Structure 1
Amino acid sequence: MNYFLAKTDPDTYSLNDFEKEGVTIWDGVHSNAAILFIKQMRPGDRVFIYESLTTKSIVGRAEVVGEPFENTADPRRSWAVKMKFLNRFARPLSLASIKADP
């Protein structure tokens, strides 16, 4: 089992949205670095969910439940992967606290 970090903009798709859906296609991944990581994901891998912008914290965990695939519906080059919500953290882990603890 491998561990990954997935970033989301809470104004677009928050952890609350993910929790309500239970399972989602994690899409909209366009950066080359992120695409490389998406391509490495396999079912059973765990993913820490990081909310950017105002939260700037790791807020929960998910599990990869499908093989990564090229999102042909996206006119921009992108990849996606199916994930299942696992849990939210009682206390989000802030980016500031991560940076403060080398």
Structure 2
Amino acid sequence: MAYWLFKTEPDTFSIDTLRTQKVACWEGVRNYQARNMLRDDVKVGDEVLIYHSSCKQVGIAGVAKVVKAAYPDYFAWDLSSDYYDHRSSPENPRWFMVDVEFCRTLTRLIPLSELKAHPALQAMPLVKRGNRLSIMPVMPDEWRTILEME
């Protein structure tokens, strides 16, 4: 089992949305490095920190679990979707998604400022300047540290 952090904008999709839906596809990843991790490395049973970004309270909001391995992101073929990509097709998919299941919300949102200040998290890609990936690995010791911060 591996650990991941998935970023989302809560105005579009939040941990509360996932709690209501119970299981949801994690679509719309349009960065090749993040896509490759999603397609090649994220596996069923992996656990995920749900991170709210581009909002007033940025930080880790909850935990989910991957329940379906990568499959083609069919929103790339939908002309009406914000995620449409004319270069992707059912025959040659360019983008992929996984399904995640809600596990729990955290007892409190852990803000990015606290994550950046914690000595045990200094190697984590999230706290490094300029990291904009929407999907990133979390090391087991980082995972434990974050949950202890809760």
TM-score (normalizing by structure 1): 0.93
Which is higher, the Rg of structure 1 or of structure 2? 2
Residue by residue over 1:9-59, the C-alpha shift from the partner in whole angstroms, topping out at 9 and shown as x without a partner, is 011111111100000001011112211221211110000000002221100
Where do 5+ consecutive residues of structure 1 fail to align?
none
Q: Which of these residues, 62, 65, 72, is aligned with residue 63 of structure 1?
A: 65
Please point out which of 81, 86, 89 is paired with 2:106.
89
TM-score (norm 2): 0.64
Residue in structure 1 matched with residue 116 of structure 2 by the alignment: 99
Residue matched to 1:4: 4
In proportion to residue count, which structure has more helix?
A: 2
Percent of residue pairs identical? 32
Structure-2 residue corresponding to 1:19: 19
Looking at structure 1, the residues matched to 100 and 72 of structure 2 have their Cα atoms a distance apart, in angstroms, of 15
- Deviation per residue, 1:66-101 (Å, 9 max, x gap): 111121431324221011000000011111101111
CA contact (8 A) 2:28 2:75 kept: no
| Runs of 4+ with >4 A deviation | none
Q: Distance in 1 between matches of 2:64 and 2:116?
A: 23
Matched pairs, number:
102
Unaligned runs of 5+ in 2: 77-83, 86-93, 120-150
Q: Does the CA-based 8 Å contact 2:67-2:101 persist in structure 1?
A: yes
Match of 1:80 among 87, 97, 101: 97
Using the TM superposition, name which of 78-87 and 29-38 deviates more: 29-38
CA-atom RMSD, angstroms? 1.2
Contact in 1 for aligned 2:38/2:96 (Cα 8 Å): yes
Matched to 1:57, the amino acid is G
